[in-house]
Amino acid sequence: MSDISERRKPPRDESRRDFLYYATTSAVVVATGAAIWPLINSMNPSADVSAQAVVDVDLEGVGPGTRITVKWKGKPVFIDHRTTERIELAQEDDTVPMIDPEPDAARVQRPEWLVVVGVCTHLGCIPLGQGGSEPVGDWDGWFCPCHGSHYDTSGRIRKGPAPRNLDVPPYEFTSDTRIKIG
Ligand code: FES
């Protein structure tokens, strides 16, 4: 295998992938406080899933290499505090042929933070890759097991039937350690 291939599959650091039970505070329903989004392998939006239009996320303590999932409008949003290696993997591939070409810089506001809607753009399954033991696909991003879509470290579709990259939700940094989604 080439050096490139080796870089596609860096040594796994299971600890850094440990899922954080992560609290978010709705800017809309302040009184209700936190919403918890546990590790999700499947999701059925249901009546009890509130459609919080704006979610304030505290990133304090989310170290490099950690991925967390928060809920926004009833959907999972993946937030990846990308390592330098993951950033480089994404940027190095900016010019290679892709199903839905898009430079990494167009998908992030700050290179170290990737924020994407965690819903496969094929038929809506929740891609794997957030949890420590989950497959991350051939590009160290996410893997949708429903029909085999592979996403890279920028959330771009690289292989499989999904027609486009994972969506980037509207969000903004309200400080160095907080973002507001929605
Ligand atoms: S829903 Fe993800 S590959 Fe089909």
Tens digit of pLDDT per residue, the chain (182 long)? 334 434 444 434 433 333 333 433 333 322 222 333 434 433 444 434 456 899 999 999 999 999 999 999 999 999 999 999 999 999 999 999 999 999 999 999 999 999 999 999 999 999 999 998 999 999 999 999 999 999 999 999 999 999 999 999 999 999 999 999 99
Which residues, in sequence order, are CB contacts of 82 under 8 Å at separation 6+? 64, 65, 90, 111, 112, 113, 114, 153
pLDDT at 173: 98
User: Mutate which of 99, 138, 144 to test ligand 1's pocket (most atoms within 8 Å of Cβ)?
Assistant: 144
Atom of ligand 1 nearest to the CA of 160: 3
d(CA 158, CA 145): 14
Task: Determine which residue's CA is closest to atom 3 belonging to ligand 1.
Answer: 147
Measured in whole angstroms, the distance separating CA 27 from the mean position of its chain's CA atoms is 21
Could you tell me if the CB of 120 is within 6 A of ligand 1? yes
For the chain, the domains span 3-181
Name the closest-CA residue to atom 1, ligand 1: 123
pLDDT value at position 182?
A: 96
What per-residue confidence (pLDDT) applies to 52? Answer: 81
Q: Is 162 in the pocket of ligand 1 (CB under 6 A)?
A: yes
How many angstroms is it from 93 CA to the middle of ligand 1? 22
Q: What pLDDT is attached to residue 76?
A: 97
Is the CB of 116 inside a 6 Å radius of any atom of ligand 1?
no
Can you tell me the distance from the alpha carbon of 180 to that of 102, in angstroms, rounded to the nearest whole number? 23
Specify whether the CB–CB gap between 168 and 117 falls below 8 A. Answer: yes
Cα–Cα distance, 102 to 110 (Å, whole number): 16
119 CA distance to ligand 1 middle (Å): 9
Active site residues: 147
pLDDT at 141: 98
Q: Indicate which atom in ligand 1 lies nearest the CA of residue 162.
A: 3
Q: Kindly state if the Cβ of 161 falls inside 6 Å of ligand 1.
A: yes
> Is the CB of 179 inside a 6 Å radius of any atom of ligand 1?
no
Question: Residue 148 C-alpha to ligand 1 middle, in angstroms?
Answer: 6
CATH class of the domain defined by 3-181: mainly beta
Alpha carbon 58 to chain centroid distance? 16
In angstroms, the Cα distances linking 165 to 106, 121, 151 are 12, 7, 8
